[in-house]
Chain A
Amino acid sequence: MNRKVIVMLLCMFLIIAPGSSVANPGGNGDADRDYSCGGSCHGDPSLSMASDATIDITLGNEAFSGQAVAIHVTVSDITTSSNGIIGLFILSSLNGNSDSPEDHGWNLIQDPNGGSSNYIEMKAPSSGSTTVTWVLLSPENSGSHELYIQIHHGSNYGKAYSGVSDKFDVNVQDVPEGLPGLAIDWVAPSFRVSGDNSPLSISTRNSTDIAVHWMLEGEWEPNLAIVECKSNSEEVCNDWEASIPATMGETNILYRVTTYNGTYSIEQPWLKMGTAPPPFEGEVWSARAHSFAFALLIISFLVTLQARLYPVNSRIEFDQTKNVTDSSLVPSDDSPGWLWNSETEEWVEDPEYLRGNE
């Protein structure tokens, strides 16, 4: 009876246990995503709650059409689950689909994690407040453009939390003819491999010259990088290479491009570039051979061990060789063809002698 009760309780525990767990507590990773969570936990009213966080958006610089603009987002007073992960979306509408800024004419130059996604995940600091920055190229058409920040995160009570900022209007102004800026199709590199000091390629438009300032994250004094034009055009140059020193470990480097054209001098937002570990050098065929080699070696070792531990008595029962070699059958010159068995004290026929005569 007791055994049945234990089994029943165990089964009930196993059935109930998954229900108390949470989906994707490790996050989903940075990507371009719509906020199309309508039917899932963060959007489902029965499973989610409104986030307690406060979201503020500020503009880093004036927005001109086609020019880079920094969007600073401050999330404060947030309570998260033990792993502290927050997911942040930058959106241009709250429709739930086709709501990425890129669907509304913006172009993502860099996200707060160094990539170029409209959705990022990050760890909330213990203070419960953090500021992150997206760098975008403004839409070509001037006027008012909406931006929203939507966040989601977990909690220690197993609930999914979701929050959205108020509408943030960015007034994009027309630009004078020939205003220099970053190229629309240029994406700032997120990482450079550790120790790589190859020059950084920068694409611009309408620029006759550029200046690149850089500094390590945490420093205050920027350094001027050497820049070189890579195109043969006489009037404007839009392909540049900047020599920024190599970084090691987990260092982030910040850099800012200033574009010039005649009297125009436009300071672009600061951009961030991380340091990536060297690429993994393993080959798939090496991994396969390595795997099967280990399999065969383990089998060989364990089968040898099994043979070694196999009971000695059983071996002796099957192996009669020792008995034969140890037997005390002694040939005699006086009686050829016969052997003297000293144990039973009697003569026995010698099979070898008989075989020899045949």
Chain B
Amino acid sequence: MMVGSATFHTAMAEIVVGSMVLATICAVGCSMVRLLTISESNNEALMVTMDRASLAGSLLALLFLPIVILSGNIAADGQAESALLYNKFVYSGLALGFWSAFVIGRLRMGPGLWQVRSLSVLQSTTAALAFLMTSMASSIGGKLVRGESLFDIFPFWLPTDTAAVLPLWASASLLILGMVTAVFVFKFTLPKIERLEHS
């Protein structure tokens, strides 16, 4: 019994989106608890639970994201024949970047990062942006297959009908720049960051 690549891609995307919803809600929740300090009594347990849930959700999503991207590539038959499809690639890359940064930040700095106001805001904003990019990529899938998406009911819509198409040499140069930047960033920021434990 075979499953079509488009069906497999949809199933994988659902796992990713579901995990990311959990991760985003918990990350924003952690940040809100830190910023608003609602109730001192339950804060600690709540923070630990939400922190772990956001980490588990984002890790699961990050694990499945490459599968989703790969199956999407196969489903698209290796073509980027429209602006929508091109943008799906770009938004997937942005989602991958934001989720990776979220997970890297949490793993390197530990659960104590939620105690630092600025880091907590950064982390929850990263999660929210990551979720937005993931939703955009998924919505484009809906647009391609069904001609509609959930974003149709929202008053805002990030650009999808037009694409900033780069020639191959420009994309390749940008990729090399990205790789060089990533190497330098990890080389120079790694010694500075230690895990922050809960106080």
Contact = CB atoms under 8 A, between A and B. Distances in A.
Interface of A: 24-27, 29, 280-307, 309-311, 314-315, 318
Contact of B178 (A286, A293, A302, A306): A293
Nearest to A279: B81
A289 B101 contact: no
B49 interface: no
Contacts of B147: 26-27, 29
Contacts of A286: 80, 165-168, 170-171
B90 A291 contact: yes
Contacts of B146: 24, 26
Chain B interface, >50% SS class: helix
B175 A292 contact: yes
Contacts of B64: none
**CB-CB nearest 3 A-B residue pairs:** A298-B97, A291-B93, A296-B178
A208 B12 CA distance: 60
A261 B168 CA distance: 55
A299 B171 contact: no
Nearest to A121: B147
A314 B115 CA distance: 13
Interface in B162-193: 163, 165-168, 170-172, 174-175, 177-179, 181-182, 184-186, 188-189, 192-193
B2 to A, nearest CB: 23
B90 A282 contact: no
B144 to A, nearest CB: 11
B175 A303 contact: no
B163 to A, nearest CB: 6
B177 A26 contact: no
A280 B97 contact: no
B100 interface: yes
A291 B89 contact: yes
Contacts, number: 161
Given A24-B146, A289-B168, A303-B185, A284 B192 contact: no
A299 B148 CA distance: 31
A307 B193 contact: yes
Contact of A294 (B82, B86, B93): B93
Contacts of B192: 307, 310, 315
Contact of A306 (B78, B82, B119): B119
Contacts of A281: 165
Contacts of B118: 309
Interface in B50-86: 69, 73, 76, 78-83, 85-86
B92 interface: yes
B11 interface: no
A285 B175 contact: no
A288 B101 contact: no
Contacts of A285: 168, 171
Contact of A300 (B83, B126, B148, B182): B182
B186 A303 contact: yes
Contacts of B92: 291
29 contacts: A26-B146, A27-B147, A280-B83, A280-B165, A282-B80, A282-B85, A284-B76, A284-B79, A285-B168, A286-B165, A287-B86, A288-B171, A290-B174, A291-B94, A292-B96, A293-B177, A294-B178, A295-B100, A296-B175, A296-B182, A297-B178, A298-B94, A298-B98, A304-B189, A306-B108, A309-B118, A310-B119, A310-B193, A314-B196
Nearest to A305: B122
A26 B148 contact: yes
Given A287-B85, A298-B94, A299-B104, 17 more contacts: A280-B80, A280-B82, A282-B83, A282-B86, A287-B171, A289-B168, A289-B172, A293-B174, A293-B177, A295-B93, A295-B100, A300-B185, A303-B189, A305-B122, A306-B101, A307-B192, A318-B194
